[in-house]
Structures are given as structure tokens and as C-alpha cells.
């Protein structure tokens, strides 16, 4: 008889993982549009959150904003019996650091860490930007409400902390408010370096930048589609790895792209009413976001954002010209849409928080053979019930086929020719969650020519 598991509403057989985890539906339902609206309005009411704005006032400027964010994290910590470690992380910047730095100042990030119960040094990070700007990024005195860019992402990060703090996860989750984005991605750079210095193992970074607008400057109104930006391969890869791709493929299978696929699959499973749109690019054309500094250090990271931007509401002074309203004001935010994208983040954070470690040293073989062979290093964790092999046509954006192969460290896919597909392997937890798919990093030697 097959061994059966029944854990927290998840049914699993020994050779097939469950398709859904009912806890994720509860997480979706727990996200509140009203709380998001309240938080976005609070952030807007600080007038400006420019990184170089007032740090002393209790009601205006970046200082008041970041103290309020920390206070919200502290409230969540109190409500979850001290499940969060809340602190500031900061770095000094001067005019020598860039032409968008008008004066010396500290770039201060607000951090809330929910430690994992089994793997506290494995982290999944959700970020939102604290700072805002108007037409002139050097103007740090006049109003820059930044309702959508990026009070929406910051509010979503706080709300995700409220919801997920009611659960425990094997891996750690970080809720992160970053500063200095508009001046040159300084907050992300500082925190990525902090993580590197402290030897964090980062599963992935979800950078949320503008998750509240549904009305594009092109006139399209869409409250279901959102974009997932991801770079194809790590910028830190070696010359040997680049050369191998010419012969073995993998041009679109870097760690950030696998993270994007994980998000797409999770949303398609648990929020089928949404339309996740994978964009094969680091960010928007020629532009940047706060996941990039993490990518620069070799970490997996993506940008999650609305599908239809309204440039009249981005980086604009509040005004009316030729009958057109400009400015990033509260009226441009759709709170129900922000709720949906916050829920997207929350279920991905939860899924990865409950996920097992990835298999290591995935190796592939099958040159001039009728079958494809894969082997890997098993995860040293009794909670892992086995492994799943994924494959897809080389032109397909998503994994199309999969097979659960049990608790083994190798498998041969008979009748599947290596030349026609790309392959990957994921670990499967007894709770039904899977790791991010790992693309092979080495090739088995073949006797063929």
C-alpha cells in the first residue's frame, strides 16, 4: 500500500505531490484592501518621502515615514508574540556617489525578519520602496506624494507581514522597506551587501514597485494583469558557464528566470483569475528597479508590478496642463488591484517559506541516446519525500511536462530525447510545496560522438 500523508489539509501519496495547499487560499482571503488604503494614505500624507527630505519632523519627510513603517512592523511583532526582528539598516551616501545625491545623508532601510523554524539562514525577501520624488529628483522640499510609486509597494510589504506573521515557516521571510531608489538604487545596494556580508542564503527577492495602477497612459484599463520582470542569466556567471551555454543551452534559465516561473505557476494555480505576464528583461526598457542590486551580487530577484503604467502619474509635480492631470496622487491607486498583487506576493512568500531546499549539483546526460538521464545531490532533510523532473520544449516559456520520480538521486526519462527539450529538477516537501526548479549545471560524459 502506498504511504499516505495528511498534513494541514494537504493530501499526498508517496509518488505524487498534492496540487494545492489550502493554507494559501486562506492567505489570499486575509489580505485587506482597506488596510492597504489606510497605509497608502498615511504614506502620502507625509508630503514628500524624498531620501534627502526632512528627518526630524514627526509629520513630514522621509524620517517620519520610516519611523512610522518601523512602528507598524513593531505592532505586527507585538501581535505575533515577537515573531519579527525589526531594525534599521543604513549606509552613508555623499555627492561623490552620484549626480542624484545633493548632500551627504544616510540611506535608511527598515527591516522585519520572520525567522524560519528549520532553516533560519535561508531567506525570501519582499521589498517596497519608502522614497518618492517629483519631476526634479533633486527637489527634496516640495510635495512628492508617491501614492503608487511606491507607497503601494511599501504598503503591500507591510500588509504581507501582517498576514504571514500568523504562520510559521521553515525558511525565513524578510519584509523590507528600501530607501534611495530614486537616487540610484542605494537602499537595495546597501542591503544586498549587508546580506552578502552576513552570509545569507537568499532563495529570491520580490521587488514590488508600483502595484496599484490599473489605467495605462495608453487608455487600457486592466485590473488582472501584472508583469514579472526577470533577467535571463546571472551577471556573476563565469566565462566557462557562458561558453557552456553555446553548446548546452540555458540562455533563459538563470536563477531569476526560474524564480519568475515559480511565481507564474503559483499564481496560475491559486489565483487563476489573474494574468501573470513574464517579461524576459531585467526591468522596463532602459530603466531600473531595486531587485537589480541583488542580481548584481548573484542573488535571484524579480520585479513585480502593474501591467499598464501611467507616465502622467510618475515622477511628476502635481499640476494640470492642457487639461491633463499630472502627479502621483491617491486617486491614481486602485486598492483592490493592490490587494490582488499583495496576495500574489504573500502566497509566493508562503510557498517558498514552506518549500524544501533545492537539489544541488544537477547533472544531465543523454547525448546521441534515446533517453535523457539526470542525477543530483539529495537534500539532507527527512521532510523531502522525493524529486520532480520538469522539461519543456526549448521555445516554451513555462515548464510543460513533469514527473515525480520518488526519493532517488537519479532518473532516466525513456523516450525523451535530450536535444529537443530543456530540463530541471525540484525537491518536493511532504507538505506538497516544491523548491524552485534547478537547471542542470553539469553534463555527464557520453560514449557517443
Burial of 8 (0-12, 13-18, 19+ CB in 10 A): exposed
Reported as a single tens digit per residue, the pLDDT across 242-284 is 999 999 999 999 999 999 999 999 999 999 999 999 999 999 9
pLDDT value, residue 446: 66
Q: What is the three-class DSSP state of 274? A: coil
Q: Under a CB-based contact definition with an 8 Å cutoff, are residues 145 and 330 in contact? A: yes
pLDDT value, residue 447: 54
What Cα–Cα distance (Å) separates residue 372 from each residue in 179, 411, 418, 419, 426? Answer: 48, 8, 5, 9, 16
pLDDT value, residue 11: 40
Both ends of the chain: CA-CA distance in Å?
Answer: 44
Q: Looking at the predicted structure, is the pLDDT value of residue 172 above 70? A: yes
Reported as a single tens digit per residue, the pLDDT across 64-91 is 999 999 999 999 999 999 999 999 999 9
Q: What does the DSSP assignment read for 289-329?
A: -TTHHHHHTT--EEEEEESS--GGGSS--SEEETTEEES--
Reported as a single tens digit per residue, the pLDDT across 342-353 is 999 999 999 999
Reported as a single tens digit per residue, the pLDDT across 1-54 is 444 443 444 444 333 445 689 999 999 999 999 999 999 999 999 999 999 999
Q: Could you tell me which of 106, 76, 103 has the C-alpha nearest to residue 89?
A: 106
* CA 354 centroid distance within chain: 15
Instruction: Please state the rounded mean pLDDT for residues 399-410.
Output: 98
Q: pTM for this structure?
A: 0.95
pLDDT band at 148 (very low <50, low <70, confident <90, very high): very high
Q: Looking at the predicted structure, is the pLDDT value of residue 225 above 70? A: yes
Amino acid at each position: 500500500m502506498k504511504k499516505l500523508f495528511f498534513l494541514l489539509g494537504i493530501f499526498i501519496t508517496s509518488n505524487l505531490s498534492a496540487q494545492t495547499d489550502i493554507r494559501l487560499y486562506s492567505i489570499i482571503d486575509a489580505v485587506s484592501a482597506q488596510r492597504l488604503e489606510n497605509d497608502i494614505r498615511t504614506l502620502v500624507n507625509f508630503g514628500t518621502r524624498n531620501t534627502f527630505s526632512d528627518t526630524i519632523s514627526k509629520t513630514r519627510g522621509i524620517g517620519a515615514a520610516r519611523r512610522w513603517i518601523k512602528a507598524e512592523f513593531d505592532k505586527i511583532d507585538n501581535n505575533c508574540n515577537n515573531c519579527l526582528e525589526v531594525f534599521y539598516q543604513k549606509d552613508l551616501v555623499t555627492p561623490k556617489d552620484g549626480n542624484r545625491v545633493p548632500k551627504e545623508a544616510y540611506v535608511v532601510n527598515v527591516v522585519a525578519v520572520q525567522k524560519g523554524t528549520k532553516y533560519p539562514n535561508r531567506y525570501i525577501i519582499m521589498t517596497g520602496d519608502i522614497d518618492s520624488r517629483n519631476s526634479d529628483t533633486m527637489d527634496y522640499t516640495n510635495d512628492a506624494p508617491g501614492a503608487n510609486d511606491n507607497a503601494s509597494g511599501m504598503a503591500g510589504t507591510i500588509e504581507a507581514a501582517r498576514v504571514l506573521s500568523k504562520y510559521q515557516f521553515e525558511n525565513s521571510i524578510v519584509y523590507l522597506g528600501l530607501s534611495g531608489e530614486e537616487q540610484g538604487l542605494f537602499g537595495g545596494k546597501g542591503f544586498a551587501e549587508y546580506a552578502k556580508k552576513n552570509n545569507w542564503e537568499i532563495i529570491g527577492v520580490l521587488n514590488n514597485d508600483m502595484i496599484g495602477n490599473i489605467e495605462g497612459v495608453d487608455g487600457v484599463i486592466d485590473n488582472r494583469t501584472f508583469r514579472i520582470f526577470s533577467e535571463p542569466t546571472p551577471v556573476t556567471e563565469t566565462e566557462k558557464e557562458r561558453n557552456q551555454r553555446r553548446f548546452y543551452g540555458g540562455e533563459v534559465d538563470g536563477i531569476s528566470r526560474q524564480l519568475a516561473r515559480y511565481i507564474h505557476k503559483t499564481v496560475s494555480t491559486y489565483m487563476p483569475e489573474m494574468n501573470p505576464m513574464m517579461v524576459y528583461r531585467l526591468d522596463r526598457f532602459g530603466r531600473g528597479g531595486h531587485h537589480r542590486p541583488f542580481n548584481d551580487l548573484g542573488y535571484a530577484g524579480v520585479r513585480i508590478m502593474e501591467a499598464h503604467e501611467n507616465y502622467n502619474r510618475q515622477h511628476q509635480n502635481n499640476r494640470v496642463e492642457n487639461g491633463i492631470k499630472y502627479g502621483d496622487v491617491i486617486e491614481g491607486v486602485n486598492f483592490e488591484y493592490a490587494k490582488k498583487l499583495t496576495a500574489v506576493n504573500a502566497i509566493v512568500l508562503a510557498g517558498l517559506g514552506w518549500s524544501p531546499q533545492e537539489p544541488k549539483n544537477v547533472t544531465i546526460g543523454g547525448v546521441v541516446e534515446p533517453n535523457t538521464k539526470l542525477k543530483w545531490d539529495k537534500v539532507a532533510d527527512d521532510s523531502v519525500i522525493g524529486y520532480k523532473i520538469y522539461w519543456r520544449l526549448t521555445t516554451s516559456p513555462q515548464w510543460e511536462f513533469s514527473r515525480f520520480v520518488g526519493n532517488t538521486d537519479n532518473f532516466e526519462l525513456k523516450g525523451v530525447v535530450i536535444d529537443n527539450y530543456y530540463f530541471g529538477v525540484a525537491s518536493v516537501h511532504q507538505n506538497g510545496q516544491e523548491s524552485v526548479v534547478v537547471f542542470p549545471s553539469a553534463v555527464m560524459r557520453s560514449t557517443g560522438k
